[in-house]
């Protein structure tokens, strides 16, 4: 069997500081980049080249550490670092690099290694001079951050530095200033969090409705001669017309499929008894219920918020009439719905359906509990941010510079996401929450089997091989890792908070989830 993923890859995932948890992801990729960028303060020597405007070059092993770095507070969690260079900090490496260029340069008219040093300096000197200074600055800054063990957001941002030009013919002392945003210290307390778990009471009516849906799903489609049931499936051709049914030149033409019960009662009565190829004239807002009208308008390419579009007339021509004969409550149906069970009668079916509905709403209720925990942490954990630095980072830290107005608009949501990033990362690290390779594979297997509910899983010998192929997809692995780690985090938090159970209807739970969903 082929190895499906390198163990080192999973070790890397386990070492990451998770920035965006799957359940609460928002479209701010910048937050992950900001919070998860390797800190220059930890193992800085590994991150040479990560600082803006400084080129990535190899380290000069003969470098003489004589430069100084000063630190000055310029705001809340916002410091200025200034790298001060003297000539002796960069001139030796500059001269050494020029000699290296002279040995390797291929210049017409000269043998390799025999190019006069003066010509090399004239041709390459200024660029080498600039490279050596910037490389020295970067090395000094990295060393300082590593030695001081500073926890910072992203990377240092360059400030206005020495205004003098870097001139190899007039070397001097230089100062380069950088701005850093420091990560805040904060505490997370979970023991005093109180949440409500909403328990849905499954009724006989809910069970009957679900069984009817199952019988329809496994039923048989027939084509009656005329419309005679609100469950009739109608294939309809929509043709834009005036109120008299005259076609509008260049008007909308569209085929659709609708249940008779989606129409208003009056339109249902008008359609009742109609046969294939019969037609009626309708005004959209008088033919459909509000929810169905919105869907029909969108399908026709019209604006659901435009009253004039809703008042348009259409000629509806029936192209096909269908009706689903519900499946009988027999052994075949029981086996189709629950292929791995041994259900033999309606009572056993109702019990199985009840358990399935309960499991569904229990899962939704737990999601709502997790949502309450999330909001409690976001609302009550006090975290201070270096807002001045973050605004500047948002403005200039991406691929395309943003305007100050755009940054101000984005900042509140951005800070909220960043706050959750810090809280969740802290909790994950403190509780040593990880995901093993086998758990990723189990999730892949579960995903496959969820698509095969109506089949006997024992008849799928290819399942293991297919799961292994899924594990070769790094995007799938990363997303699954984050999802599973998120689940583990909230399961842990759920065990630590105070939970009170409250009975509710399915509609009440759905309303609460809709209201609080983020």
Tens digit of pLDDT for each residue in 93-130?
A: 998 988 888 888 888 888 887 888 788 888 888 999 99
pTM score, whole prediction: 0.71
- DSSP secondary structure of 411-444: HHHHHHHHHHHHHHHHHHHHTT----HHHHHHHH
Mean pLDDT of all residues in 241-268: 95
d(CA 399, CA 165): 27
Name the pLDDT band for 484 (thresholds 50, 70, 90): very high
More confident residue, 105 or 256: 256
Average pLDDT, the chain: 85
| pLDDT digit string, tens, across residues 291-338 | 899 999 999 999 999 999 999 999 999 999 999 999 999 999 999 999
CA atoms within 13 A on the CB side of 25: 13
pLDDT in tens, 333-361: 999 999 888 899 999 999 999 999 999 99
Q: Which residues contact 299 (CB under 8 A, 6 or more apart)?
A: 254, 256
The answer to whether residues 457 and 449 touch, using CB atoms and an 8 Å cutoff, is yes
Q: ∠63-69-74 over CA atoms, to 5°?
A: 155
- pLDDT at res. 54: 41
CA 378/CA 419 separation, integer angstroms: 7
pLDDT for position 375: 96
Q: What is the pLDDT of residue 456?
A: 53
What Cα–Cα distance (Å) separates residue 447 from each residue in 58, 158, 173, 437? 46, 47, 63, 16
Mean pLDDT confidence for 364-375 = 96
Distance CA 301, CA 12 (A): 48
Model confidence pLDDT, tens digit, residues 18-60: 333 333 333 344 555 565 544 433 333 333 334 443 433 223 3
3-state secondary structure of 242: coil
Integer Cα distance of 49 and 36 in angstroms: 17
> What pLDDT does residue 29 have?
46
């Amino acid at each position: 069997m082929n190895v499906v993923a390198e163990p080192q890859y999973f070790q890397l995932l386990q070492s990451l500081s998770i920035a965006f948890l799957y359940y609460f992801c928002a479209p701010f990729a910048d937050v992950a980049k900001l919070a998860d960028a390797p800190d220059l303060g930890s193992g800085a020597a590994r991150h040479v080249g990560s600082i803006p405007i400084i080129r990535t070059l190899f380290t000069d092993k003969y470098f003489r550490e004589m430069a100084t770095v000063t630190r000055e507070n310029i705001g809340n969690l916002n410091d200025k670092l200034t790298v001060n260079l003297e000539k002796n900090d960069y001139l030796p490496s500059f001269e050494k690099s020029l000699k290296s260029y002279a040995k390797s340069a291929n210049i017409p008219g000269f043998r390799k290694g025999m190019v006069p040093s003066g010509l090399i300096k004239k041709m390459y000197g200024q660029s080498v001079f600039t490279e050596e200074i910037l490389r020295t600055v970067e090395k000094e800054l990295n060393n300082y951050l590593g030695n001081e063990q500073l926890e910072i957001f992203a990377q240092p941002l360059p400030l206005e530095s020495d205004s003098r030009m870097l001139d190899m013919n007039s070397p001097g002392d230089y100062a380069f200033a950088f701005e850093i945003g420091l990560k805040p210290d904060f505490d997370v307390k979970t023991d005093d969090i109180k949440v409500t778990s909403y328990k849905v009471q499954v009724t006989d009516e809910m069970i009957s409705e679900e069984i009817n849906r199952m019988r329809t799903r496994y039923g048989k489609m027939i084509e009656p001669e005329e419309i005679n049931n609100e469950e009739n499936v109608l294939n309809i051709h929509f043709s834009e017309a005036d109120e008299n049914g005259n076609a509008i030149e260049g008007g909308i033409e569209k085929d659709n499929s609708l249940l008779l019960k989606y129409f208003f009662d009056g339109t249902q009565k008008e359609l009742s008894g109609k046969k294939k190829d019969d037609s009626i004239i309708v005004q959209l807002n008088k033919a459909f219920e509000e929810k169905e009208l919105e869907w029909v308008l969108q399908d026709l390419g019209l604006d659901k918020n435009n009253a004039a579009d809703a008042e348009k007339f259409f000629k509806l021509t029936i192209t096909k009439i269908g009706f689903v004969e519900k499946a009988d409550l027999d052994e075949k149906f029981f086996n189709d719905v629950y292929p791995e069970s041994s259900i033999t009668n309606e009572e056993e079916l109702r019990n199985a359906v009840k358990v399935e509905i309960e499991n569904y709403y229990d899962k939704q209720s737990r999601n709502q509990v997790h949502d309450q925990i999330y909001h409690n942490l976001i609302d009550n954990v006090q975290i201070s941010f270096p807002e001045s630095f973050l605004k500047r980072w948002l403005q200039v830290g991406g691929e395309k510079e943003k305007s100050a107005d755009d940054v101000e608009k984005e900042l509140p949501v951005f800070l909220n996401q960043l706050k959750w990033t810090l809280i969740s990362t802290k909790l994950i690290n403190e509780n040593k929450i990880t995901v093993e390779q086998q758990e990723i594979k189990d999730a892949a297997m579960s995903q496959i089997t969820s698509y095969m509910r109506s089949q006997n899983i024992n008849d799928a010998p290819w399942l293991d091989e297919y799961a292994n192929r899924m594990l070769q997809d790094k995007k799938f692995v990363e997303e699954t890792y984050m999802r599973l780690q998120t689940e583990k985090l909230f399961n842990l938090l759920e065990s630590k908070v105070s939970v009170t159970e409250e009975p509710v209807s399915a509609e009440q739970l759905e309303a609460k989830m809709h209201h609080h969903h983020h």
